[in-house]
Structure formats: structure tokens, C-alpha cells
């Protein structure tokens, strides 16, 4: 694949717990605990690397053992960390989550203050790297000031993943010029001030986000699939079936898949293999990759590859409805 992708945002250590039986609040629950490497930006970068996309990560880590291990893990997984800010006097980010017995997240706490060190000044220092990319993916963990400055200096398409409703406040009035957004239903509700329950609600929310100056929007609809819209077309793409093992990281993988699909369509332009609709192909890729992720106990599916994505798209007849 031609060109590389820059991913900007959080990289942290994930500490996860899941009970053996249904979760009992305010009590000690027998279960399993794991320690893995996460952070939305790092997860997106790792997924892109598994999809054979050259990727450079811009994030901040501490000078502690966790930070060193995190960078080593990224490098072993094909992620370029040469532009990561390392502060020897700070601690690395951590994310603690508890899932229920069927794999859905019940509660999470994050400690990601070091991410505030990705300042406008630091972005200026890596501006040639940013503008040398095919596209830039930013997660909602970067500060409002950093996001505004990124839009100012960036001359390539910006993809934005708001991450959560709490973080979406940083960007909801600064979306003009963003090429692509991928909120889930709750984030789309917060960004638009709408309640989203019906197909008409999803359509109205997508139209509102596009009216804010966004080029394309992909709204995760859970078991109903994905709404994909630009200023010309709008579709609902049905889900890609999967047995739910763990939903952590599914949204991150979908964002990576949309970026990968966009670059793949660009590389196939003018050939017989080029998909008829880049919008539909990106949404199908997002659903396919998310299904691989939720079918795995790991945040990054070890089964993920370009061939695996294309195979799932071919084997599972995801419905396409124009709305």
C-alpha cells in the first residue's frame, strides 16, 4: 500500500477484568484479570499495521518500565514510534476496565494525563511527518488546543474518532474541515444534541454532523450495523455476524478499517478490482474488522489481515440499504 498513516492520541496499558458468573456490583467477583497494551490511537495503529498499512504513532509515554515496554511492543508490531514523546519524569497512561460475563464493558477508569503533553508546539515539531502522510487519524484524547492546531497545520485528510461522550466536548464545535468521523450512537447523540433510536434519528444525526463541515460520517449502530454517509449518499450497512467474546477495541478497529479501505480504494482506482462505492466498501470493511475483534479475547484480533477482511466481506452478504 502506498503512503503511510499518522495516528495521534492515546497509548496506554490496559488492565481488564471479567467475572466468571454474572457481575455482582459492590462485591468481589471471581474472574480473570489481564494486562495488555491499549489506548485508542495505539489500537488503531496496531490494526492498521496488521492491515499492511505503514503507520507512525504520535503519542506520549513516561520514562517508566510500562512506557518502555509499551514502545517495545509497538515496534514489534510494526508501528513506527520514532516520533513518540517520552517524558522521563512522568508516568505512562493506564486504562482499567471491567467487563460483564458476556464480554460487554460495565465500567472503566482511565489515567491519561500524560496525553496533554501532545501540545500545539509538539505537533509543530512533527509537522513534516504529519503532512507527509496519506491521512491522519486523531483520537479524542488529544486536547482541544492540540486538535484545533492540528487542523490549522494539517494539509492531508483528518479522520477523527471522538472516543467517548466525555471527550467529544473537546471537538463538537470544531468539526469543520474534518474529512471523516466515526462516532458510535452515544457519541453522535452528544455531538448533535439528538436522541437516536430509530432509522430516521440516525439519518438526522448524520445530516447534522455533515452540516458541521465533516466530509463523511460513519455511525456505529451496534447489532444493526453501520450508517455511512457523505454529502451525496447515505446507507445503512447490516452487521457482519460474529460470536461476541469481548467488545473492547471494536470501535478502534472499525476506525482503522475505514482508513485502510479508503487507501485501498485509492490504490485500486481505475482498475477492475475497484469497488463501485468507496463509502459502502469502507462501511463493510469496518463491520468485518469489528466482527473479527469482538470474536477475539484480544483487543487486536490475531486473525486480522487484508485477506481476512476481504474474505469476510465476500462470505457474509451484509445488507445495503440506501436511505
pLDDT, residue 124, reads 98
Task: Tell me the average pLDDT of the chain.
Answer: 93
Domain 5-322, CATH homologous superfamily name and number: Ribokinase (3.40.1190.20)
pLDDT, residue 298, reads 87
With a cut of 50, which residues of the chain have pLDDT below it?
Answer: none
- Rounded Cα distance between 290 and 295, Å, is 8
pLDDT, residue 236, reads 98
pLDDT, residue 113, reads 87
pLDDT, residue 273, reads 63
Q: What is the pLDDT of residues 274-286, one digit of tens each?
A: 677 999 999 999 9
In this prediction the pTM is: 0.90
pLDDT, residue 4, reads 97
pLDDT, residue 276, reads 75
Q: What is the pLDDT of residues 174-187, one digit of tens each?
A: 999 999 999 999 99
Domain ranges for the chain? 5-322
Q: What is the pLDDT of residues 38-84, one digit of tens each?
A: 899 999 999 999 999 999 999 999 999 989 999 999 999 999 999 99
Amino acid at each position: 500500500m502506498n503512503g503511510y498513516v499518522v495516528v495521534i492520541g492515546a497509548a496506554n496499558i490496559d488492565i481488564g477484568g471479567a467475572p466468571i458468573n454474572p457481575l455482582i456490583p459492590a462485591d468481589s467477583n471471581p474472574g480473570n484479570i489481564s494486562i495488555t497494551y491499549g489506548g485508542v490511537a495505539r489500537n488503531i495503529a496496531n490494526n492498521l499495521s496488521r492491515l499492511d498499512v505503514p503507520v507512525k504513532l504520535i503519542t506520549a509515554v513516561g520514562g517508566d518500565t510500562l512506557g518502555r515496554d509499551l514502545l517495545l511492543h509497538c515496534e514489534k508490531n510494526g508501528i513506527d514510534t520514532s516520533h513518540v514523546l517520552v517524558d522521563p519524569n512522568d508516568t505512562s497512561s493506564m486504562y482499567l476496565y471491567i467487563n460483564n460475563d458476556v464480554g460487554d464493558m460495565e465500567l472503566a477508569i482511565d489515567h491519561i494525563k500524560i496525553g496533554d503533553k501532545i501540545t500545539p508546539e509538539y505537533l509543530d515539531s512533527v509537522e513534516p511527518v504529519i503532512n507527509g502522510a496519506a491521512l491522519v487519524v486523531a483520537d479524542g484524547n488529544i486536547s482541544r488546543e492540540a486538535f484545533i492546531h492540528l487542523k490549522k497545520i494539517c494539509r492531508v485528510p483528518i479522520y477523527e474518532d471522538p472516543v467517548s461522550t466525555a471527550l467529544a466536548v473537546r471537538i463538537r464545535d470544531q468539526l469543520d474541515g474534518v474529512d471523516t468521523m466515526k462516532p458510535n450512537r452515544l457519541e453522535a447523540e452528544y455531538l448533535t444534541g439528538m436522541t437516536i433510536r430509530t432509522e430516521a434519528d440516525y439519518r438526522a444525526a448524520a445530516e447534522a454532523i455533515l452540516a458541521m463541515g465533516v466530509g463523511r460520517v460513519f455511525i456505529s449502530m451496534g447489532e444493526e450495523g453501520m450508517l455511512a454517509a457523505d454529502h451525496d449518499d447515505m446507507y445503512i450497512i447490516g452487521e457482519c455476524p460474529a460470536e461476541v467474546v469481548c467488545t473492547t477495541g471494536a470501535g478502534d478497529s472499525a476506525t482503522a478499517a475505514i482508513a485502510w479501505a479508503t487507501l485501498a480504494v485509492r490504490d485500486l482506482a481505475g482498475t477492475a478490482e475497484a469497488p463501485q462505492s468507496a463509502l459502502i466498501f469502507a462501511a463493510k470493511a469496518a463491520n468485518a474488522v469489528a466482527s473479527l475483534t469482538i470474536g477475539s479475547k484480544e483487543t487486536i484480533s490475531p486473525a486480522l489481515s487484508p485477506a481476512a477482511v476481504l474474505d469476510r466481506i465476500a462470505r457474509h452478504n451484509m445488507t445495503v440499504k440506501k436511505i
